[in-house]
Amino acid sequence: MAYPFQLGLQDASSPIMEELMNFHDHTLMIVFLISSLVLYIITLMLTTKLTHTSTMDAQEVETIWTILPAVILILIALPSLRILYMMDEINNPALTVKTMGHQWYWSYEYTDYEDLCFDSYMVPTSDLKPGELRLLEVDNRVVLPMELPIRMLISSEDVLHSWAVPSLGLKTDAIPGRLNQATISSNRPGLFYGQCSEICGSNHSFMPIVLEMVPLKTFEDWSLSMI
């Protein structure tokens, strides 16, 4: 959950998000080093009066500043591709949940159960209980087991939506007529909040997502009570 004036990313709660945060730090360090070098060279050019005529025709320097950016791009691309394939891969999911976007709410269907489906609407500000978050609380939370691979099938019934939960590293577009897939695996129990991340109409701001990750035994008790 984000807090006021937060500058960094939310705390990672899934292996994918941990990898994304490591890649973010890796790339940010490269950007910082490049920016520092460029600033240093600009400062030297503006403050020194020394000139070297030989630098106007230096094949070695031109070779270095051609090869070095290519090496840097490779150092960024390789871990990026690795994470991209990790996010797209799912093996033997323990549970499949289908998510449908509507104007302006989400509906969920647990496809491994016969009659386990519900709609999830934002709780109006006037109905909030103490401790509940404005514009983020819903009337029906998505309860899922922790430490298990879960497949989310995401689509839409009307316009473009986007199903996003930042702390789990999830952001998948919900497109009418297309079924997209995402993988959820949480390291710890808790409540994880998200919102629709694609402008979808006048009430786009009022489509929150709440995932409640619980131990497997608690999830089984909840699913039996819902059927």
Q: How far is CA 95 from CA 86, 109, 151, 178, 179, in A?
A: 18, 11, 6, 20, 17
pLDDT tens digits along 64-121: 888 999 999 999 999 999 999 988 888 889 999 999 999 999 999 999 998 899 999 9
Spatial separation of the C-alpha atoms in residues 214 and 102, rounded to whole Å: 27
Phi, psi (degrees; rounded to nearest 5) at 109? -135, 120
Q: Which CATH architecture has domain 13-86?
A: Orthogonal Bundle (1.10)
DSSP 22-81: HHHHHHHHHHHHHHHHHHHHHHHHHH-----GGGGG-HHHHHHHHHHHHHHHHHHHHHHH
Task: Record the pTM.
Answer: 0.83
Q: Which residue has the tokens 């004036």?
A: 5
Is residue 52 scored above 70 in pLDDT? no
DSSP 124-139: PGGGPPTTPPTTT-BS
Q: Domain-by-domain residue ranges, the chain?
A: 13-86, 93-224
pLDDT given for residue 65 in this prediction: 84
Q: Which residue has the tokens 């991340």?
A: 197
pLDDT tens digits along 1-40: 778 888 888 888 898 999 999 999 999 999 999 999 999 9
Over pLDDT 70: what percentage of the chain?
96
Given this structure, which CATH class describes domain 93-224?
Answer: mainly beta
pLDDT given for residue 36 in this prediction: 96
